[in-house]
Amino acid sequence: MKVLIAPSILSADFCRLAEEVVAVQEAGADLLHLDIMDGHFVPNITFGPAVVGAIKSVATVPLDVHLMIENPEKFIDDFASVGADILTVHVEACNHLHRIIHKIKDMGIKAAVSLNPSTPVESIQYMADDVDMVLVMSVNPGFSGQKFIPQALRKIASVRELVGSKKDIQVDGGITRENASRVTGAGANILVAGSSVFSASDYAEAIKALRG
Ligand code: DX5
Ligand code: ZN
């Protein structure tokens, strides 16, 4: 599978958000990864639908919206209406994962489920056919710039076994040019990268290095 790179806007310069979005797109970003945090599910707060809508107005690639929020079912309509192309919910935040995944798909949006580092793959065992993508967290969600948790590699391999060869597996957290090939080698095909792209002086070179 082709390796896709999804720069995480969380590490961008928020004072120059539009410029930063255009710059990563010109540098070869395949998706824009947008981290939505509510201060409850994770110990940080970021931005909501208004900012996603503003980013949409300058986006030329799909918006990959990662919901790190409690009660995500309450906000699906809001993020759909401002132009999310992929909506990812956390299995740990959903009482009725099957219902919410199908609600997202019924709106014509790709639906994904994410697993925190301590969450077993078995938690999505009966959802493999329903989701379009699985997001394996390789850090505890909440902040950019954290260190990759190596156990994620085994988890990626078992998610690949579960979902088969055609579905997308995304990995998020601590991805660097040093570990990217191990992550794709384990079976992932979409790499989220915050600090490793936005702290680079040359975004295009950074994205190319991650693609391998
Ligand atoms: C972490 C977020 C990530 C974060 C990744 O909770 O979900 O998307 O922005 O940042 P890096 O690549 O710096 O770990
Ligand atoms: Zn994320």
> Of ligand 1's atoms, which has the minimum distance to the CA of residue 33?
8
Task: Work out whether the CA dihedral 167, 171, 172, 175 comes out positive or negative.
Answer: negative
35 tagged catalytic: yes
Is position 164 annotated in a ligand binding site?
Answer: no
Is position 187 annotated in a ligand binding site?
Answer: no
What angle in degrees, to the nearest 10, is found between the helix axes of 203-211 and 17-26?
A: 50
64 tagged catalytic: no
| Residue 28 belongs to domain spanning | 4-211
Q: Is the CB of 187 under 6 A from ligand 1?
A: no
Q: Whose CA is nearest to atom 4 of ligand 1?
A: 144
Instruction: Give yes or no for a contact between 97 and 71, defined as CB atoms under 8 angstroms apart.
Output: no
Question: For the chain, how many structural domains are there in total?
Answer: 1
Percent of the chain predicted with pLDDT > 90? 100
If one counts every other C-beta atom within 10 angstroms of the C-beta of residue 50, the result is 10
**Considering only CA atoms, which of 201, 200, 197 is closest in space to residue 211?**
197
If one counts every other C-beta atom within 10 angstroms of the C-beta of residue 126, the result is 10
Alpha-carbon torsion, ordered 43, 133, 207, 156, to 10 deg: 80
Catalytic-role residue among 30, 38, 132, 172: 172
Which pLDDT does position 182 carry in this prediction?
98
4-56 pLDDT, tens per residue?
999 999 999 999 999 999 999 999 999 999 999 999 999 999 999 999 999 99
75-88 pLDDT, tens per residue?
999 999 999 999 99
Q: Is the CB of 145 under 6 A from ligand 1?
A: yes
Beta strands in the chain (DSSP E): 4-7, 32-37, 63-68, 86-90, 110-115, 133-137, 168-172, 190-193
Is position 33 annotated in a ligand binding site?
Answer: yes
Mean pLDDT confidence for 98-125: 98
Q: What is the mean pLDDT of the chain?
A: 98
The CATH number for 15's domain is 3.20.20.70
pTM higher than 0.95 = yes
Which pLDDT does position 81 carry in this prediction?
98
188-208 pLDDT, tens per residue?
999 999 999 999 999 999 999
Which pLDDT does position 185 carry in this prediction?
98
Q: Which tokens sit at 108?
A: 């014509």
